Amino acid sequence: MTNTVSTRPAHHTTPRRRWSWTWVMLSSLAIAGYFVGQYGEGTLDELAQRNVGLATTYADRSWPVQVAFYVHIVAAGLALALGPWQFSKRLRTRHWRLHRWNGRVYMVTLALGSAAAFVMSMFNSVGISGFFGFAALAVLWGWTALRGYKAARARRFREHEAWMIRNFALTYAAVTLRLWLGVLIMVQLPFSDGREFTDIFDQAYGPLPYLCWIPNIVVAEFLVRRRNLPSLHMTSPPADARLAG
């Protein structure tokens, strides 16, 4: 995989881009606030009795897994709440110190969140296929952040932006997972024929370890290309692009 250098002018903030950013920011804050907040309303045992979220999956686990669960939801929740601000042009240009500090905190929350997510992926509620989906997400989440961080340290800012778009698309899996879950529950309802809701829920949850992030990373690559940032190549770039790079 090789990176290319673009020749088109730098991008500007258009109304469409502002709306997209506002949607991403509000949906991220809503999911971080609601889904993480619900686990603060009691112990995992109490929440499991009320069937809150995935409390039943983790209430009977050993304490290290439960610690991973809490580290994950708090750290990943923070990453989701902090991430969108990094794409604000105003923050990047006028308050660049804030961009740097927010970015550092984001990296720390992400390191904790992804390590804990990797642990949790071994105990997820889907089973072995869920492990591969969630573990791949956890590894890619950390790896894209590392690439983005290294590019920023080396002052390769266009490459940094491209990696952080890919990285936040993975963070945003927390939002898309819940959106897909709603959609996949709803499409089953007309054909449910008196099936238990838990059965409908389990059927909807099955594909989510993959569906929550694979489309996101495709959209991210599309955005990287549309912004004319260095994109990924699965084949060797043409000779003139290699020379330009």
Chain residues binding ligand HEM by CB under 6 A are 31-32, 35-36, 53-54, 57, 72-73, 76-77, 79-80, 114, 117, 120-121, 124-126, 130, 134, 137-138, 141, 170-171, 173-174
Q: CB 45 → ligand HEM: shortest distance, Å?
A: 16
Residue 99 or 166: the one with the smaller Cβ distance to ligand HEM is 166
Q: State which amino acid sits at residue 102.
A: N
How far is Cα 3 from Cα 206, in angstroms, rounded to an integer?
35
Q: How far is the CB of 204 from ligand HEM (least distance, A)?
A: 12
Least distance CB 221 / ligand HEM (angstroms) = 17
Contact 149, 104 (CB under 8 A): no
Least separation in angstroms between residue 172's CB and ligand HEM is 8
Q: Minimum distance between the CB of residue 194 and ligand HEM, rounded to whole angstroms?
A: 26
Full DSSP string of 118-151:
HHHHTT-SS-HHHHHHHHHHHHHHHHHHHHHHHH
Cβ proximity to ligand HEM, 3 vs 216, nearer residue? 216
- CB-wise, 3 or 137, nearer to ligand HEM? 137
Give 3 or 85: the residue with its C-beta nearer to ligand HEM.
Answer: 85
Q: Which is nearer to ligand HEM, 3 or 84 (CB)?
A: 84
CA nearest neighbour of 223 among 76, 21, 48, 61: 21
CB of 7 to ligand HEM, least distance (A): 33
Cβ proximity to ligand HEM: between 3 and 220 the closer is 220
Quick one: which of 9, 57, 4, 3 has its CA closest to 227?
A: 9
Which residue, 7 or 62, has its beta carbon nearer to ligand HEM? Answer: 62
Min. distance of Cβ 149 from ligand HEM in angstroms? 16
Question: Among all residues, whose Cβ is closest to ligand HEM?
Answer: 53
Q: How far apart are CA 221 and CA 170, in angstroms?
A: 12
Cα angle 1, 215, 18; round to 5:
95
Q: How far from 30 is each of 9, 26, 123, 147, 236, CA to CA, in Å?
A: 35, 6, 26, 28, 42
Which string of DSSP letters, residue by residue, matches 194-244?
Answer: T--HHHHHHHHHTTHHHHTTHHHHHHHHHHHHHTT-----SSPPPHHHHHH
Instruction: Give CA–CA dist 168/170, Å, rounded.
Output: 5
